[in-house]
């Protein structure tokens, strides 16, 4: 099988609506992050430090995986005792998890008052040996709801129905169709053993590699991080 993640619609016509289709994560960044300048005022590119946008870990994070947008406008309502859900089309369903399944076991200050399961209209297929991490939209700072993280072996199990935790005390939460909903990051299932070395105890070959990467990183103003990555490709 080609190294691709495949989304197969379970609802007729869903795959024809562009704004409802999954897309690469690099196409979506929170508005607050987009506004961050690359440099402080008066700062030159060769100067150290700067805004967080210069940190390569953020760039790699926002470029990893795929965003699944909400497939149907959904309204979650709270009358003070009970939550209910309504979708704009009956083809799209949600379910609620009884608090005895999860919420009742959380710390009192967790802030979660209910958990739903959104029945995803996509079947997801990955190559043999590949799974996906189901992740919330970290850095969106949504105080109303959040998809809970989890792992699904989508090479054998193709249903991905995200659990959605509700927080706060709003009486109505409206999640629009097409709004970014959750992130999927594929990964190859491999097991790594753990090995710990003290200062100066690492094998010479490994230490030589670390030293070379460090020197390359420290002897350039920009771009050395990507150069080190390419050496491993």
Split into its structural domains, the chain has a count of: 2
Output the pTM of the full model: 0.90
- Residue 48 pLDDT grade (very low, low, confident, very high; cuts 50, 70, 90): confident
CB 123 within 8 A of CB 159: yes
Looking at the structure, tell me whether residues 152 and 229 fall in a common domain: no
Tens digits of residue pLDDT in 98-136: 999 999 999 989 999 999 999 999 999 999 999 999 999
Looking at the structure, tell me whether residues 127 and 222 fall in a common domain: no
Q: Is residue 31 part of a domain?
A: yes
In sequence order, what are the residues at sequence separation of 6 or more whose Cβ sits closer than 8 angstroms to the Cβ of residue 36?
51, 52, 53
Q: Is residue 94 part of a domain?
A: yes
Q: Is residue 1 part of a domain?
A: no
- Full residue range of the structural domain in which residue 78 is found: 6-188
Looking at the structure, tell me whether residues 82 and 183 fall in a common domain: yes
Residue 19 has pLDDT above 70, yes or no: yes
Residue 230 has pLDDT above 60, yes or no: yes
Q: Is residue 22 part of a domain?
A: yes
Give the three-class secondary structure for 101: helix
Alpha carbons 159 and 64: distance in angstroms, whole number = 21
Looking at the structure, tell me whether residues 13 and 92 fall in a common domain: yes
CB 151 within 8 A of CB 127: no
pLDDT of residue 46: 82
Looking at the structure, tell me whether residues 231 and 174 fall in a common domain: no
Which of 175, 123, 119 is closest to 145 using CA atoms?
A: 175
- Residue 233 pLDDT grade (very low, low, confident, very high; cuts 50, 70, 90): low
| Boundary (domain end) residue, out of 173, 188, 203 | 188
- Residue 181 pLDDT grade (very low, low, confident, very high; cuts 50, 70, 90): very high
Looking at the structure, tell me whether residues 203 and 184 fall in a common domain: no
What mean pLDDT value characterizes the chain?
92
pLDDT of residue 82: 85
Residue 31 has pLDDT above 70, yes or no: yes
Looking at the structure, tell me whether residues 179 and 213 fall in a common domain: no
Mean pLDDT of 138-159: 96
How far is the CA of 106 from the CAs of 90, 109, 132, in angstroms?
Answer: 32, 8, 25
Looking at the structure, tell me whether residues 151 and 96 fall in a common domain: yes
Looking at the structure, tell me whether residues 111 and 135 fall in a common domain: yes
Give the three-class secondary structure for 100: helix
Q: Is residue 138 part of a domain?
A: yes
How far is the CA of 173 from the CAs of 12, 60, 121, 131, in angstroms?
Answer: 27, 31, 21, 31
Cα 27–chain centre separation: 13
Looking at the structure, tell me whether residues 146 and 224 fall in a common domain: no
Q: Which two tokens stand for residue 190?
A: 């491999």
CATH assignment at residue 70: 2.70.40.10
Residue 226 has pLDDT above 60, yes or no: yes
Looking at the structure, tell me whether residues 157 and 231 fall in a common domain: no
Looking at the structure, tell me whether residues 113 and 127 fall in a common domain: yes
């Amino acid at each position: 099988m080609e190294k691709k993640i495949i989304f197969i619609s379970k609802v007729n016509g869903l795959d024809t609506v562009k704004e409802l289709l999954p897309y690469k994560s690099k196409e979506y960044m929170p508005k607050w992050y987009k506004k961050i300048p690359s440099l402080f005022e008066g700062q030159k590119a060769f100067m150290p430090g700067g805004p967080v946008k210069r940190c390569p870990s953020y760039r790699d994070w926002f470029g990893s995986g795929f965003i699944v947008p909400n497939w149907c406008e959904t309204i979650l309502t709270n009358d003070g005792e009970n939550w209910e859900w309504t979708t704009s089309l009956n083809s799209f369903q949600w379910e609620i998890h009884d608090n005895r399944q999860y919420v009742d076991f959380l710390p009192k200050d967790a802030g979660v008052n209910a958990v739903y399961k959104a029945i995803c209209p996509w079947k997801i297929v990955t190559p043999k040996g590949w799974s996906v991490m189901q992740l919330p939209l970290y850095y969106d700072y949504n105080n109303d709801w959040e998809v809970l993280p989890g792992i699904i072996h989508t090479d054998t199990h193709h249903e991905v129905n995200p659990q959605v935790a509700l927080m706060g005390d709003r009486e109505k939460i409206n999640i629009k169709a097409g709004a970014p909903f959750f992130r999927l990051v594929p990964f190859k299932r491999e097991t790594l053993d753990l090995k710990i070395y003290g200062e100066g105890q690492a094998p010479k070959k490994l230490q030589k590699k670390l030293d070379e990467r460090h020197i390359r990183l420290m002897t350039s103003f920009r771009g050395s991080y990507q150069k080190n990555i390419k050496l491993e490709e």
